[in-house]
Structures are given as C-alpha cells and as structure tokens.
Amino acid sequence: MNTVSAYHNMTTETHRRSAIEIARNRLMIGVVLFCFAFLIMIGRTIELGVSAPKPRVTATRQVVTVPEVQIARADIVDRNGEILATNLETASLYAVPKDIKDPQEAARQLVSILPELSYADVEAKLSSGKKFVWLKRKLTPRQKWEVNAIGEPAFQFEREEERIYPHGRLAAHVLGYVDVDGNGLGGVEHFFDAKLGDKSRTSEQLQLSLDIRVQYALADELQAAMRAYQAIGGAGLVMDVSTGEVIAMVSLPDYDPNNVRGVADTEKFNRATKGVYELGSTFKTFTFANALDDGVVSMEDGYDATKPLRISRFLIRDDHPKERYLTVPEIFTFSSNIGTAQMALDIGTERQQEFLGELGLLQPANVELTEVGAPLVPPVWRKSSTMTISYGHGLAVSPLQLASGISAMVNGGRLMTPTLVHNPENWQTGKQVIAPDTSRKIRQLLRMAVTKGTGGRADAVGYRVGGKTGTAEKAIAGGYARKKLISSFMGVFPMDDPQYAVFALLDEPKGTKETFGYRSGGWVAAPVVRNVILRSAPLLGVSPKQEDAGLYQDVALLIEDKKKK
Amino acid sequence: MRKTLTIFAAATAIASGAAVLQLKITVQNKVDNVKEIARQIKQDREAIRVLEAEWAYLTTPQVLQDRSIRFLALMPPRAKQIIADPSLIPFRPKGLEVEAGEGVLLPAAQKELKSSKEKKSKQTEGQTL
C-alpha cells in the first residue's frame, strides 16, 4: 500500500508539477502579451507626449474649383462694357530642324501656307540641323490648322497670347499698343501697364470713359472732313462737361494697333493730347470769362473796333471787320480780335496769366496718357503777348486742355481734371474757377455765336448747340504762315443745360467749291461738330426740344445783326 | 446558435464592405464628373472670351454702318422724329390702372401723379363748397 501510495503519490506529484508548469507557461504567454501591449502603450504615450498634437483626421469634402482662365493681361472695355482690347490664345510655330528629313519640301509647303515668309529663309532655317528655331509667331487658328495638316512632326506650336483690338483703328490713340511680348508701349496700355499686366489682377477689366459709338461718329465725321478739305491731320474730342470724362478722342491720321509694324511716327502722334496748337478765337471764351468774372466789363459795355490795332510789330485785324463800335456780345459773336485785345489790356497781363494758369492751360494736361504735350508759353509775357493770347495766338495748348477749360466755362464754373477712366465721381476733382453766374453769361455768348455769329454751320437743329470757331495761322519759324491754318470748332450742347463738349480740329485744310474757298473753323470744322452732335446726341441721351428763346433775349438784343439791315 | 451568429456577422461585414466600396466608387465617379464639368466650364469661358472678341469685331460701328447702308433704308433720325416724352404718343396703352394700397406698389412717378390728381380734386371740391 505504501509503495502503491508512494507510487500514486509520485505520479500525482509529477502530474501536478507538469500541470503547474503548463499553467505557468501559458501564463507566461499572457504576461508576455500583456507586457508587449503595455510596451506599445508606453511607447505610444511617450510618442504622444513628445510629438506635437496631430490634427484629427476626418474625411474631407472634395471641393472641385473651376480653374481660372489664365490671361496675361487684363481686358480694356469702354463705358458700356464693349471690349476694346483683349488677350486671346494663339500659337507660335517653331521647328526642330534636326528631325526634318526633307527640308526643301517642308519649306515649300510651309511657305504656301504662310506666304509672308520667304522660301530661302525658311529653307535655310530648316536645313540648319539645330534643335530649335522660331518660324513664325502668332498664327491665326486657320493657319495653325493648315500647318498641322502638313503632317510634319518637326513643326511644333507654343501656346502664346496675342493682344487683340477688335475695333481696329477706332480709339487707337487712346488705347495705344503692345509689343510682341505684351508690354504696353502707348496710350493707356502704357500708362496702366503695371496694373494691366499684374498677374493677380488680370480678371479686373479696365473700364475707360470712352463710348465706342460716339468715338466712331467723331472719327467718321472727322475723317470725311479731312478727306474733303485735304487736311494733313485732324483731332476731335467729346467730353462730359459735368464729370470731365472723355467720351471720345480722335487723332488723325491713325493706325491699327493690331499691327504697328511700319507705322510712321506721324500716325502714332496723338494730336488731341500731345499736339499743341494755337487755337485761335476759341480762346476768346476764356478772355471773356475772365473779364466778366472780374467785373472788368459787363455785357452792356463795348469797345471801338473801327480800325486795326497796332502793337509793336503786330497788326491786330478782324477777320470779319465791322468797322464800328461793338458791344461785348457783338465782339464775341463776330469774333473781333480788336475788341478782345482791348479787353485783355483792361484785364491786365498778370491777371490773364493767373487766370489761364488756374485753368491749367500753362502746364501739361493731367490725364491718363503719357503722350501729353507741354503748352508753348511765351518766354516773356509782354503786352503784345497779352493781346494776342486773348484771341488765341501766341499760346499753344492741346485740344484736351481747351476742352476741359471750355467745360469749366459752361458747366457752372467747375474745372475738372480730364479723365479717360470711367469714373462718375470724377466731378469731385473739380475746383471752382469762375462764378456760376459768369458761366451762365458764357453759355449765352456761345449760343449767340452759333445762332448769329461765325459758328452758324454748327447749329444742329433741336440740340441747342453753342460754340466758338477758331482759326489760327500756323506758327512757323519767324512768324506765321498765312496759307496754313489750324481750323477748329469748340461746341457745347445742349446750351440750356450743357452736358457735352465737342471739339473738332483740322490741320491745314484747303477750301473747296462748297465752302467758296473758305477754310476757317466756321466753314470746315463747325459742320463736323454739327454732324457729330446729330449722330451722337440720341446715343448720349440728349433729347431735342424747342429752344427757350427767352434765355438769350437780353444778349440777343445787344447784337446788331447785319442781316436785319 | 453560435454558428448562426458567426454567419450573420460575416454576412453583415461583407455586405457593409461592399456597400462602402460601392459608395466610394459612386463618389469617385461624381468627383470625376464634377471635375469634367469644371474643365468644361473653363473651356467654355475661354471660348466665350474668343466669341466676345469676335462679336466686338463683327459689330464694330464701322461694320454696322456699312451693313445698314447696304441692307437697310434707314437714315439718321432728325430732331423732329425724336419724342422725348413717350406720353405724347396717341393711343398708347397705359397698362392696368391699379389703385395703390396694401400689397400694391406703384412706381414713384405714378404715385405722385395720383396724389397730385387727388389734391386737385380735393381743391376743386373745396372751391365748390
């Protein structure tokens, strides 16, 4: 029993031991696993403690944005949003000559598509064996298609942008032009070059104050007059007198900004801003405004204009001599140089200088163009200068300066900085230069000059046009050329509430049979202004109406009309 | 019991996995679709730019004038032909006469006209009294 029990004991002993061992081994697996898990947790804890907190990862909404249309240069539009300049994608053709098997054949085919290229030149380029050679920049889509149709893999295209002016010559001088790399070289393209070319702002359009329809009416009429009177040049302006915005600006001869290669400098020259001219009698408006505003004369006064005036070496004559005593309205209406010169003497040299300075006629015009001409001011302002400047000789200013000055004379006396950018708030730049009351008198005088005086051919029926003719002999070295005239007309309408000023200038017009050989402003430039007003007034929202004759009655009575005699 | 639970779990897992996959594919398709549309919009915008330039080119005043002279017998209007005040046109339909009231808004000009008429009628009444 003892042995049995011992044996039994022993077996149970070994059994128990092995069971414990097994249990322990199993336990060890658990411990190792736990230890491992804890190690991971410790490691993770340390990692979290050490590392910066990571943002929570959540499912992000996939936002798809429409890619912006990439353009290298912002568009230019007119006041109604009509496109004046835009960038379009084009292709430029280059070749990889080393890949070309048959340069002669390829050159022949290419020249048949692009006739402006010379065969010899293309052939030389293609057989040069280089890796890259430009053939032609800026192909039309059709040309690109045809070149592709040749099927020559060595011809390749590079995407480029081209500046397009859809209206061609229209407003060329305002817009300017760009070089082949898209840098603005003239007009507003040059003035606003940094803004237009700013990569981050190309979606912002530059809105000009121009109205392309009025621009065309002016350009068309001026062109027709230039042809009819064989003038060597012309300039025209339409300006909003209450804001100083330029609605149209024309300079002839002009050019096509789409293709400026070979354009002569005379064509690029902007006569409306860079050209300075002695503008003749239109200047009398300023002299009269000055005299009336200072109280030097009143409407009822007058001057003796029986004989030409002699001052140093000048002889001041009248183009339309009346040879009698003239009242102030008569001097203006019949455009008497003698009367105006005497009035200027009464104003005095210093005051005249100050007044013209206030109107900005002695400094270059401040406008958004770099092509701005500086006025030609007499070096010494003598008594004779005072007298000649009073009727527009001896001081040369640009048409733009004249237009903004005249605008101030009629709009109630506020001189606005002229602007080419659409900005209805531009009137805030204005400063009062003459009293509103004086401005009213000037309106009456301007209207009388059209109804009774030299500007009769500018009277657009229904639109109450007022204005002043200007005829000046061209200054040449050592005096004036009697045969070469600058004929102009400065019109404003409607005169009872002036809204727009229209200016037309012809350089060296020649008389025709229709004008009986006359080529003064009243004959050649005034009809241009009338036609422009007739064409553009409906577009500008000025309605024709019956004139209130009472407005001008007082002044009209002071004018003794020769027709009545 | 146990077996059914396992099968149920497995089936659910597979089904939900398939559903998620399906969803992902659908979303991917939609995203591709939207991207395609965005690309199309960009292309259209580029085309619109070209067309706008072309429109400006084709409707430049010079061209319109030439076309008008060739195909239309129209002349520039004379001052006499322009009427500044449309109410002068005889037999011009004036639209429905509506009284201003709650919920009926009239243009300011019409309202003024009405009130001035009322005033006048009141004044005349006063005079007769």
What would the pLDDT profile of A97-149 be if each residue is shown by its tens digit?
A: 888 888 888 888 888 888 888 888 888 888 887 888 888 887 877 888 888 88
- CB contact under 8 Å between B53 and A166, yes or no, is yes
- Encoding tokens for residue A123? 């052939």
- Encoding tokens for residue A17? 């031991």
pLDDT of residue A263: 87
The type of residue at A518 is: Y
State how far the alpha carbon of B62 is from the alpha carbons of A174, A213, A292, in Å: 18, 9, 44
Domain count within chain A: 1
Q: Does a structural domain hold residue A430?
A: yes
Q: Is the Cα dihedral A18, A23, A26, A28 positive or negative?
A: negative
Query: Residue A186 — φ and ψ, nearest 5°?
Result: -155, 165
Nearest CA in chain A to B53: A166
What's the pLDDT tens digit per position in A232-281?
Answer: 999 999 999 999 999 999 998 999 998 888 888 888 999 999 999 999 88
The type of residue at B88 is: L
Pick among A66, A211, A542 to test the B interface (most B CBs inside 10 A): A66
Strand order in the sheet with A233-240: A246-252, A233-240, A500-507, A479-493, A466-476
Q: Does a structural domain hold residue A53?
A: no
Residues of chain A contacting B65 with CB distance shorter than 8 Å: 216, 220
- CB contact under 8 Å between B53 and A65, yes or no, is no
What is the distance between the alpha carbons of residues A304 and A324, in angstroms, rounded to a whole number?
6
Q: What is the ipTM of this complex?
A: 0.74
Residues of chain A contacting B35 with CB distance shorter than 8 Å: 64
Q: Does a structural domain hold residue A535?
A: yes
Q: How many CB atoms lie within 10 A of CB A293?
A: 20
pLDDT of residue B125: 47
Closest approach of chain A CAs to the CA of B64, in angstroms? Answer: 11
pLDDT of residue A77: 93
Nearest CA in chain B to A70: B46
* Residue range B110-117: mean pLDDT, rounded: 57
| 3-class DSSP assignment, residue A511 | coil
- CB contact under 8 Å between B46 and A543, yes or no, is no
pLDDT of residue B128: 42
Chain A residues contacting B via beta carbons under 8 Å: 62, 64-69, 71, 82-84, 86, 88-89, 164, 166-168, 170, 212-213, 215-217, 220, 460-463, 534-535, 538, 543-545
Residue A301: give the domain boundaries. Answer: 215-564
Q: Does B20 touch chain A (CB under 8 A)?
A: no
Residues of chain B contacting A68 with CB distance shorter than 8 Å: 42
CB distance A499 to A242 below 8 Å: yes
pLDDT of residue A503: 95
Closest approach of chain B CAs to the CA of A542, in angstroms? Answer: 9
How many residue pairs from chains A and B have C-beta atoms closer than 8 A? 82
Peptide bond into A253 cis (omega under 30): yes
Q: Does a structural domain hold residue A238?
A: yes
Q: Does a structural domain hold residue A245?
A: yes
- CB contact under 8 Å between B82 and A167, yes or no, is no
Based on the residue annotation, tell me whether A281 is a catalytic residue of this protein. yes
Residues of chain B contacting A65 with CB distance shorter than 8 Å: 38
Question: Does residue B120 register a pLDDT over 60?
Answer: no
pLDDT of residue B129: 43
Closest approach of chain B CAs to the CA of A195, in angstroms? Answer: 20
Strands A155-164 and A277-278: unpaired
Annotated catalytic residue, options A251, A281, A336, A520: A281
**Pick from A66, A82, A543: CB nearest B38:** A66
| Sites in chain A below the pLDDT cut of 50 | 564-565
Closest approach of chain A CAs to the CA of B11, in angstroms? Answer: 26
Peptide bond into A67 cis (omega under 30): no
Residues pairing with A475 in the sheet: A480
Closest approach of chain B CAs to the CA of A165, in angstroms? Answer: 8
Query: Residue A363 — φ and ψ, nearest 5°?
Result: -115, 160
CB distance A245 to A426 below 8 Å: yes
Pick among A167, A169, A547 to test the B interface (most B CBs inside 10 A): A167
Q: Does B40 touch chain A (CB under 8 A)?
A: no
Q: Does a structural domain hold residue A503?
A: yes
- CB contact under 8 Å between B65 and A216, yes or no, is yes
Pick among A62, A493, A531 to test the B interface (most B CBs inside 10 A): A62
Assign residue A471 the CATH number of its domain.
3.40.710.10
Of the pLDDT bands very low, low, confident and very high (cuts 50, 70, 90), residue B113 is low
Identify which has the larger pLDDT, B118 or A232: A232
